[in-house]
Amino acid sequence: MARGGDQLGVLIALDAAKTQWYHFTAIVIAGMGFFTDAYDLFSIANVTKLLGRIYYTHEGAPKPGTLPPNVSCAVNGVALCGTLAGQLFFGWLGDKLGRKKVYGLTLALMVVSSLASGLSFGKSAKGVISTLCFFRFWLGFGIGGDYPLSATIMSEYANKKTRGAFIAAVFAMQGFGILVGGIVSLIVSTAFDHAYKAPPYNVDPKASLVPEADYVWRIILMFGAVPAALTYYWRMKMPETARYTALVARNAKQAAQDMSKVLQVEIEAEQEKVDAMAVKDNNSFGLFTREFARRHGLHLLGTTTTWFLLDIAYYSSNLFQKDIYTSIGWLPPAAEMNAIHEVYRVARAQTLIALCGTVPGYWFTVAFIDYLGRFFIQLMGFFFMTVFMFALAIPYHHWTQKEHRIGFLVMYSLTFFFANFGPNATTFVVPAEIFPARLRSTCHGISSAAGKAGAIVGAFGFLYASQSKDPSKRDAGYPAGIGMKDTLILLAVCNCVGMFFTLLVPESKGKSLEELSGENEEDEEAGVITTSEQQQTASSRTVPV
């Protein structure tokens, strides 16, 4: 294997590898976690209205029950709080114990919690909601671990040329998760609606809620465990990434063995190089050191702030789609539907938005990220999100009129399209590339936890802020907010600020991970053989097994 310079042969082989079958299996194995994440986080939006009807309808009330503000906050937000904790904890653990060891644990936690949230105990509202929140916290905790680990594993497995597309493809599985969440809700609600016919609430309040409706939300939530459980075996079979084994665990022999199998080439173990790299100053500083602050402080500030600002806008819009549809009149008033049919109508609206805006946006990023670069896509995404949010907010009254509703939905879909063909994907990709191997998972965990903090601000803040000043249009139990129009203006401002913080984030297109993190910086300064020369040697010296 190539001996030029101090760069390890096994890493050069990974950087120069042609796109192979193992890249695609890695995308699916890593992506299934995200599929489950998105399914679980967004399917709850389809069932919250049903939970309100089942557990909070008062006899003789003119409208069916809705979740009280504090309960709605808890059900929507508790998984996000769990995710934030999981990102920090598993991000740190992934650098301490290795990516692979922790990877199966996060998936097992997701599967168990998904099933358990559908089995929430008790007949009383308090019992069901408390156990649901408890299991959704742990579901979020498992989901949180998947963010830093999946991104890091994919970036460390990928080659230099298409690394951005591979990491973005893992993240793009979220789009399918949201879509399948909508489709499963549609299928389950249609089946139950046909099997148990019920009149609308305003015809017969009691008969509009059939006892079997309690199964609907449970089945929808439990289905999230299925795709994750299917990939568990493959996750456990994945070898540890060579970058962790060589650069952090310092076991050159194991790294060469693992990657020889994966790449199907002969790779030489170079223990002396690994030992030499270990003693360098730029491979030993920790996270809370002056050296880290000097080299990567601004990068970390850039990745955390952009993710924080994006998620305020992204999650508040996504989790409360159903409220937005109702306020523009896309969903009929709750009293005109029975309980199960309402789930169908909410899910149908979400599935349409996912199909038109969300899913295409993710795959546009996958297609163009290695051509346009991360920086350009992120800046462009923030810019268009700002434009469309202002375009929705300023003439808001115009959009609420019946003849303009389609225009509103087109603009709303475009906002999602540019979130996903923009900062929602790039904020996930970049932190997995620009930090040193021994801190990569931790820094990605910190960045994504900042994002989840934004999601919590968005989810809780939006719920109260978007309430109308007119008491007749407000949900029961909520104080007056600033109204939907001003809330949308606030979200547009968040996106605008995100554009400025994007300037702190470096472009990582086409560079090796070690170049980006400065782990072999001295070699370049000393004028040793360049990476491209090493790669040529590497490709001429790697022999198929």
Q: Domain coordinates of the chain in residue numbers? A: 15-273+289-517
Q: What is the mean pLDDT of residues 245-252?
A: 89
Residue 265 pairs in a beta bridge with: 544
Q: What angle do CA 237, 221, 316 make, to 5 degrees?
A: 100
pLDDT over 70 at 13, yes or no: yes
- Under the banding of pLDDT at 50, 70 and 90, the label for residue 526 is very low
- Window from 63-72, 213-222, 381-390 with minimum mean pLDDT: 63-72
What are the tens digits of pLDDT across the range 427-459?
999 999 999 999 999 999 999 999 999 999 887
pLDDT of 540 > 60? The answer is: no
Q: pLDDT by residue (tens digit) across 99-137?
A: 988 988 999 999 999 999 888 877 788 999 999 999 999
Predicted local distance difference test score (pLDDT) of residue 448: 97
Torsion of CA 253, 257, 263, 265, to 10 degrees: 80
Residues in the chain: 545
Using CA atoms of 447, 510, 23, 145 in order, give the dihedral in degrees to the nearest 10: -10
Q: Is the pLDDT of residue 475 over 70?
A: no
Q: Is residue 538 over pLDDT 70?
A: no
CA distance 506 to 502: 9
Residue 327: predicted pLDDT: 67
User: Is pLDDT at 282 greater than 80 in this prediction?
Assistant: no
pLDDT > 90: percent of the chain: 42
> Is residue 532 scored above 50 in pLDDT?
no
pLDDT of residue 219: 94
- In 3D, which of 21, 47, 37 has the Cα closest to residue 428? 37
Q: Which residues, other chains included, contact 437 with Cβ-Cβ below 8 Å and sequence gap of 6+?
A: 156, 243, 244, 247, 248, 513, 517, 519
Residue 521: its pLDDT value, please?
Answer: 66
pLDDT tens-digit map of 253-270: 999 998 988 888 888 888
Q: Are the beta carbons of 528 and 4 closer than 8 angstroms?
A: yes
List the one residue out of 6, 11, 13 whose CA is nearest residue 527. Answer: 6
Work out the average pLDDT over 343-352: 85
The CATH class for the domain spanning 15-273+289-517 reads: mainly alpha
Q: Cα-flanking dihedrals φ and ψ of residue 544, to 5°?
A: -60, 140
Q: Per mean pLDDT, which range of 19-28, 322-331, 367-376 is the poorest?
A: 322-331
pLDDT of 311 strictly over 60: yes
> Taking Cα atoms as reference points, which of 433, 428, 463, 439 lies closest to residue 319?
463
C-alpha–C-alpha distance, residues 447 and 431, integer Å: 7
Asked whether the beta carbons of 422 and 384 are under 8 A apart, the reply is yes
Higher pLDDT, 490 or 76: 490
Give yes or no for residue 278 having a pLDDT over 80: no
DSSP state of 470: S
Q: pLDDT tier at 5 (50, 70, 90 boundaries)?
A: low
Average pLDDT over residues 236-241: 90
Identify the pLDDT of residue 4. 44
Give the least confident one: 351-355, 358-362, 374-378, 505-509.
351-355
CB atoms within 10 A of CB 375: 17
Highest mean pLDDT among 25-39, 67-81, 285-299, 400-414: 285-299
Exposure of 100 in the CB half-sphere (CA atoms within 13 A): 18
3-state secondary structure of 332: coil
C-alpha–C-alpha distance, residues 389 and 246, integer Å: 47
- Residues 138-165 have a mean pLDDT of 94
SS3 category, 380 = helix
pLDDT at 543 over 60: no
The pLDDT mean for the chain works out to 85
Question: Regarding predicted confidence, which is higher, 328 or 312?
Answer: 312
Identify the weakest region by mean pLDDT among 5-19, 24-38, 218-232: 5-19
What the block records as the tokens of 515 is: 């170049």
Identify the residue with better confidence: 196 or 475: 196
